[in-house]
A and B are shown apart, each in its own frame.
Chain A
Amino acid sequence: QVHLQESGPGLVKTSETLSLTCTVSGDSINNNYWSWVRQPPGKGLEWIAYIYHMGGTNYNPSLKSRLTISVDTSRNQLSLNLTSVTAADTAVYYCARGLGATIFDVWGQGTLVTVSS
Chain B
Amino acid sequence: EIVMTQSPPTLSVSPGERATLSCRASQSIGSNLAWYQQKPGQPPRLLIYGGFTRATGVPARFSGSGSGTEFTLTISSLQSEDFAIYFCQQHNNWPPLTFGGGTKVEIK
Contact = CB atoms under 8 A, between A and B. Distances in A.
A and B assemble together:
yes
A46 interface: yes
* Contact count band on A: 20 to 34
Contact of B46 (A47, A99, A109): A99
Contact of B102 (A44, A99, A105): A44
Contact of B100 (A44, A99, A100, A107): A44
Interface in A64-110: 94, 96, 99-100, 102-105, 107-110
A30 interface: no
Interface string B54-88: 01100000000000000000000000000000010
B8 to A, nearest CB: 15
A31 interface: no
A67 B37 CA distance: 28
A62 interface: yes
B49 A99 contact: yes
B15 to A, nearest CB: 26
Specify the main secondary structure of chain A where it touches its partner: loop
B46 A103 contact: yes
A28 interface: no
B95 A58 contact: yes
B44 A46 contact: no
A96 B44 CA distance: 10
A11 interface: no
Nearest to B85: A44
Contact of A45 (B42, B49, B55, B87): B87
Nearest to B42: A109
B99 interface: yes
A62 to B, nearest CB: 7
A60 interface: yes
Contacts of A56: none
Contacts of B1: 61
